Amino acid sequence: MNTFSTSFKEQHSYFSPWLDPLPFDWSALESTGTELHYQKHDTVFDCHEPTDHIYLVKEGRVRLYLLSDLGEEKAIAIIGKNGLLGESSVFLDHGYYANAITASPTKLIRIKADLFKNKVLENPLYSEQLFKMMSLKLRLLYRHSLDLSYSSSYYRLCQTLAQLGLTYGESEDGKKIKIQVSFTHQELANVIGTTRVTVANHIKALIEEGHIYKVRNHYVIQDLAKLTSMGP
């Protein structure tokens, strides 16, 4: 079971790119859309598409990312249950701004953008939830900019592993945390803005130093508090 204190979790997951699950309720909007099912690594939309729809995440996780002119990927956020996709583009007709691909089997509700906009503007609760969703993503972009400018890749990896532990971790003894989702070195590299080889070297160092170890496809964090305190 998860044994983190509320204050510890809030402090160290404040800038986590894993927005999952989210405390939003869009149930009254679901009947206005179409339910869609995706397998892992299916494309939901890309940044060149016209903004015709927004998506509610019912189950699973979707990764938002950008591509450089050279095709290098930078992950922005992983949106989980009760999250929104494409909402920031509803008010500006210039495409989706980011690409979206599923990180797990996923169920989405696709709603026409104009219909979603009208429904949200009519409902103060939905308007507040929309502003919060957009604010969470904006806060992440600020943090990405700061970390890429001033933090080492080793520090960013430690923080990312800690955030994964806080979001998807389970503990038996109150200290060791097993991350319940699997991921590749390349996926971590895309999140922290570095190369796969750099991540592999950092992971090797963290294992040799006794901070983490691996059980089949899952990493175990020996001491979450210690990992979060690793300097930049």
The model's pLDDT over 110-162, given as tens digits with 9 standing for 90+, comes to: 999 999 999 999 999 999 999 999 999 998 888 888 888 889 999 999 999 99
pTM: 0.81
Least confident of 12-16, 59-63, 179-183: 12-16
Domain end residue (candidates: 149, 173, 193): 149
Number of domains in the chain: 2
Co-location of 27 and 141 in the same domain: yes
pLDDT digits (tens, 9 = 90+) for 8-35: 455 555 578 889 999 999 999 999 999 9
- Tell whether 24 and 132 lie within a shared domain: yes
Check which CATH number belongs to the domain holding 47 and give it: 2.60.120.10
Domain, as residue range, for 198? 151-228
- pLDDT at position 90 is 80
The b-or-e profile of 207-230 (16+ CB within 10 A means b, else e) is eeeebbeeeeeebebeebeebbeb
Cβ(161)–Cβ(229) below 8 Å: no
Q: What is the DSSP letter of 73?
A: E
Mapped onto helix, strand or coil, the DSSP state of residue 64 is: strand
